[in-house]
Amino acid sequence: MKKITRRRLLKRGAVAAAAATLPLSLVEISWGKGNAQNFTFAYISDSHLTHIKGTKFVRNFDKGLKKAVMECNFMSPKPDFVVYGGDLAQLGKKEELEHGLEIMSKLRHPVRWVIGEHDFYLDMGRFWEDKISKTTYSFDHKRVHFVVLNSILTYDSWIKRWKTPEERMANMARLDNPNGSPFMVGDRQIKWLKKDLARVSKDTPIVVMSHSPLYKIFKPWNFWTDDAEKVQAVLKPFNKVTVLHGHVHQILYNQIGNITFQAMMSTAWPWPYPLSYIKKPNQIPKITVFMNRADPFHERDATGWSILNLENGRVTNHYKLWENRDRILRYDEKLGYPVDTLYQNPANRIPPQEHY
Amino acid sequence: MKKMVAAMTLAVALSILGAFAVQADEFTKKDLEKWNKEFISVVKEGERLFHSALGKNKVSCDMCHPNGANTHPETYPKFQKQIGKVVALRDMINWCIQNPLEGDPLKLDDPKMIALEAYITYERKGKPLDPGKH
Amino acid sequence: MRNRLIPVVILVLVLMPLWLSTSVLAGKTRALGLPPVPIPSDNPQNAAKIALGMKLFMDKRFSADSTVSCATCHDPKRAFTDGLPIAEGIKKKKGTRNSPTVINAAYYTSQFWDGRAPSLEEQAKGPFVNPVEHGLKDFSPILQVIKRDPKYSSLFKKAFGIDADRIGIEHVVKAIASFERTIVSGDSPFDRYMYGGEKGAMSEAAIRGLKLYRTKARCQDCHPIGQTSAIFTDNKFHNLGVGFSVIEPRLMEIVAKVKKAKEKGLKLDETILQKQDISELGRFVVTLNIEDIGRFKTPTLRNVAVTGPYMHDGSVETLEDVIELYNQGGEDNPMLDSGIRPLELTEQEKADLVEFLKALTSPEYAGLLKDKK
């Protein structure tokens, strides 16, 4: 029997070159007439790298993050920066975070980090703050004010319950945990946010990046931020506010007053929509058009990352959905909320979006 | 008169006997509670298995199916695209164990399989049957 | 009453042979395990058309040096393939791709490895005028031969009801397609086991192979077997990484080249078979969708054991090599289909899968199986 000869190692850089270089399948960059504030950035989130033993990690999840990094490297035009949306690790282990940092180090663009609960609860964010990033900060970019929050905090009483850090982490890691605890931003951060925004003018576009949604969707799975209303109240005076979040591993979008909410995909695996658990009521935003239901045979189905355009103070989200047609979310000024450019009209829906 | 006495004696005898005879379809509220407890114990075992790594990687069912969501047990048996024929829930459970969980399939009469099915269906209690739905 | 019945009886007697002949044709297309053959409404089957199609299929005069017919690369004696890794046309000119079999090609929703032809009719046009295949400059030599050959005139008349001066290339390819729609085969040991209820039709090893096919070996999703029939193709395009190393160092450059060329009206058919780097882009050349780079159509697995060598470039020699390719998780590349991953099959499992694949050979080609040892 003739053995297959191994091909030489692919020069991944060059190979992935075309993956995102040509604008053919990228979002149309609609540059506002003479408006220098428009720019592009990228969002990679929820990789959940899982350590098995020694140097072995779950292959499926490694592949997802690696693919996103490779494709992002060859974006054209280049993104101004890349946001990592949280949950780099699965159980907050040093091995997982280091493995994630190693993969992310291949990114050729600057990174802004948002912490997720899977990164936080083993050591209460120690490694993250020491080696990766602050968890609460803000920055200005091309006259847009960006805020990053640690929105996966929770009640002290719950944190103190557990005998070991591993037990605490495991209980936060399990999504459907009846012994779970809701996410929150906390009064201290809200105070900080008020102060931070005090120096920002009302017509400056604001983008808040957070792991939890900053609104309430489904408490049993912590698709939830307990003090969401308080945070929204602080953001209320501003004309154009967008919240970008992770955690839910699905396409979700909403408009509450002046705030647009957009969920980012996971590079690892999709989560079902909460209406799929009939025992508990849900508050899925009515305007969301669901992503296509995933086929578990294809490991990258319903996973991906996002290319984001800041246009006229709003975020246009081009979901790079692997194994699927990409989806584009654009803010409609007339309607006053974000719409899916292809499927928002119910007449355009297709069975995979409704067969949940 | 004799006939009436005889008839009455017979009736009394029969009713006494009847009081001691075991009625096969009679069960009490206590029985129901007991049997339900047995059932729930298996549901709990299923919940434990559902949230544990059943394969060789560390993936567990609940990672893609929190609370058993999106498993649609009420649609089985159905034509399962991934398997290419009409199958029961347990066949798909085995497919998932072998594929995303990279593990070995369970025997169809394994108590673990029954436990998993008990948990999955229990979380979906109340949903009308819809066999064949994709 | 009886008087009214007579014309009905006559009508039935007249129609019966017609119905029988078409049902015999249909019967041939309903071999065990196959769904009905899709027949387009603008090209219905009839016996004359099919006979004409076969004659055209075999005719070597439709090539620049009269040495090549469709049957050269799609040889009926070799399960409608040529047994070569890459097809060879006039003067042994090599293209870039392996000749797919005609058997059961009627079930594909697009033709060619990259699906650039939407039908059997359209596919038939390509090779005639491809410089490395039949090598004709245009279709006129074909039509000239036909018009000068009285046998053809009468067949075309019977098949299409047209006179010789009205024959065009459309008629030629319609007839060829009609013939190809009769080249369908089921009835393999697998079909008899699966759909015929013959539990002894497949060996124990092949039965184990079938089980693996649906589970650990992960074949089912792209090469589907159904509850009542099986065509073994999802009619989609997937990247296994075979041949990807040819384009990987210059991918950006090649992709840009194709995009520019297409804007200028690139002749897909010719270029694909002459430029290997463009050929390896696969489906991308047709759709210009980045996700389609390196993707090729899922071929049917029926008669796979006698239609090697395998893959779009014929680079994989034996069935054992094919299993090995899948077992290692294809050839890793960033566009690799996400259903492909290492399988960790044991040696026994690999052998069982090969036995199963051999069981997909239809009886009329089983003789070729023995030659493959």
Per-residue pLDDT 10s for chain C (373 aa) are: 556 666 655 655 555 444 444 444 444 445 899 999 999 999 999 999 999 999 999 999 999 999 999 999 999 999 999 999 999 999 999 999 999 999 999 999 999 999 999 999 999 999 999 999 999 999 999 999 999 999 999 999 999 999 988 999 999 999 999 999 999 999 999 999 999 999 999 999 999 999 999 999 999 999 999 999 999 999 999 999 999 998 888 887 888 888 888 888 877 888 888 888 899 999 999 998 888 999 999 999 999 999 999 999 999 999 999 999 999 999 998 889 999 999 999 999 999 999 999 999 999 999 998 765 4
Residue A223: which CATH number? 3.60.21.10
Q: Mean pLDDT across the stretch A13-37?
A: 41
In chain A, residues with a C-beta closer than 8 Å to the C-beta of C325 are 4
CA torsion through residues B90, B96, B98, B101, sign: negative
Arch. (CATH architecture) of B36-134 = Orthogonal Bundle (1.10)
Closest Cα in chain B, distance from residue A179 (Å) = 13
Q: Do B125 and A355 touch (CB under 8 A)?
A: no
Distance CA C236, CA C250 (A): 26
CA–CA gap between residue C213 and residue C223 (Å, rounded): 9
Write down the pLDDT at residue C103: 97
pLDDT of A15: 44
The confidence score (pLDDT) of residue A20 equals 41
Model pLDDT, residue B19:
56
Dist. CA A327–CA A343, nearest whole Å: 9
Token pair 């191994």 in the structure block, residue? A6
Other Cβ atoms within 10 Å of A227 Cβ, number? 19
> Considering only CA atoms, which of A297, C166, C331, C361 is closest in space to residue B92?
A297
pLDDT attached to residue A30: 38
Give the list of residues 6+ apart from residue A233 with CB closer than 8 angstroms, or none. Answer: none
Interface residues from chain C to A (CB-CB < 8 Å): 218, 221, 241, 244-245, 248-252, 255-256, 259, 288-291, 293, 316-318, 320-321, 324-325, 328, 331-335, 337-339, 341
Report residues of chain B scoring pLDDT below 70: 11-22
Q: Domain limits of chain B?
A: 36-134
**Whole-angstrom distance, CA of residue C47 vs CA of residue C178:** 9
The angle, 0 to 180 degrees and rounded to 10, between the axes of the packed helices A12-21 and C251-263 is 30
C139 vs C144: CA distance, rounded Å: 9
Residues of A in contact with B66 (CB under 8 A): 175-176, 220-221, 271-272, 277
What span, in angstroms and rounded, lies between the C-alpha atoms of B12 and C219?
Answer: 74
Please give the structure tokens belonging to residue C295.
Answer: 């993707």
Flag whether A156 is in a domain.
yes
Kindly list the residues from chain C whose CB atom is less than 8 angstroms away from the CB atom of residue B79: 227
- Tell me what pLDDT residue A26 has: 37
Query: Domains in chain C, ordered, with CATH?
Result: 47-180 (1.10.760.10)
Tell whether A199 is covered by a domain. Answer: yes
> How is chain B split among helix, strand and coil, in percent rounded to 5?
55, 5, 40
Whether A318 and A17 have beta carbons less than 8 Å apart is answered as: no
From A253, A230, A231, A258, select the one nearest A327 (Cα to Cα).
A253
Q: What is the pLDDT of residue B2?
A: 77
Spatial contact of C37 and C184, defined as CB atoms under 8 Å apart: yes
Asked whether the beta carbons of A86 and A246 are under 8 A apart, the reply is: yes
Residues shown for chain C: 373
- Regarding predicted confidence, which is higher, C354 or A32? C354
Give, in order, the Cα–Cα distances in Å from C122 to each of C56, C78, C79, C117, C169. Answer: 15, 24, 22, 6, 10
pLDDT of residue C189: 96
Rounded Cα distance between C327 and C334, Å, is: 18
Give all chains having 3 or more CB-to-CB distances under 8 Å with chain A: B, C
CB contact residues (below 8 A), chain A span 11-70, against chain B: 50-52, 58-60
Q: Give me C4's structure tokens.
A: 């009214």
pTM: 0.85
Give the pLDDT score at A137: 98
pLDDT digits (tens, 9 = 90+) for A279-320: 999 999 999 999 999 999 999 999 999 999 999 999 999 999
Q: Is residue A29 part of a domain?
A: no
Query: What token pair was written down for A209?
Result: 């990046």
Write out the residue range of the structural domain in which residue A149 sits: 36-354
Question: Which pair of tokens denotes residue A38?
Answer: 């428009």
The DSSP H or E segment spanning B122 is helix B111-123
- What single string gives the DSSP state of each residue in A266-311? PSS-----GGG-TTS-----TTPPPPPPP-TTSTTTT-EEEEEEEE
Q: Which residues of A40-75 are buried (b: 16+ CB within 10 A; e: fewer)?
A: bbbbbbbbbbbbeeeeebbbbbbbbbbbbbbbbbbb
Query: What count of other Cβ atoms lies within 10 Å of the Cβ of residue A293?
Result: 19
Question: Which residue in chain C has the smallest CA separation from B94?
Answer: C215
Residue in the block written with tokens 């007053």: A257
Residue C199 burial class via C-beta count within 10 angstroms: exposed 0-12, middle 13-18, buried 19 and up:
exposed
Mutate which: A3, A6, A7, vs C, most C CBs within 10 A:
A7
User: Would you state the structure tokens that stand for residue C146, as one six-digit string?
Assistant: 């036909």
User: What's residue C17's pLDDT?
Assistant: 46
Q: What is the pLDDT of residues A161-202, one digit of tens each?
A: 999 999 999 999 999 999 999 999 999 999 999 999 999 999
Which residue among B79, B83, B98 places its CB closest to the CB of C216? B98
User: Residue A155 pLDDT > 60, yes or no?
Assistant: yes
Q: What is the three-class DSSP state of B110?
A: coil
Using a CB–CB cutoff of 8 Å, tell me whether B108 touches chain C: no
Q: Specify the amino acid at residue C231.
A: I
Alpha-carbon distance of C297 to C237, in angstroms, equals 4
Residue C255 vs residue A242, higher pLDDT: A242
How do residues A201-230 score in pLDDT, each as one tens digit? 999 999 999 999 999 999 999 999 999 999
Per DSSP (E only), the strands in chain C are: 237-238, 296-297
Contacts of B82 in chain C (CB under 8 A): 220-221
CB-nearest partner of A299 from C248, C317, C341:
C341
* pLDDT for the residue numbered C1: 52
Domains: count for chain A = 1
- From the number of C-beta atoms within 10 Å of its C-beta (0-12, 13-18, 19+), residue C251 rates as buried
Report whether A86 contacts A114 (CB < 8 A): yes
Tokens coding A47: 């990789």
**ipTM of this predicted structure:** 0.87
Q: Is the dihedral of CA C32, C34, C35, C38 positive or negative?
A: negative
Distances in Å between the alpha carbon of A217 and those of A81, A171, A263?
29, 20, 12
What angle do helix axes C347-358 and C319-327 make, rounded to 10 degrees? 130
A323: pLDDT confidence band, cut at 50, 70 and 90? Answer: confident
pLDDT score recorded for residue C24: 43
d(CA B132, CA B134): 6
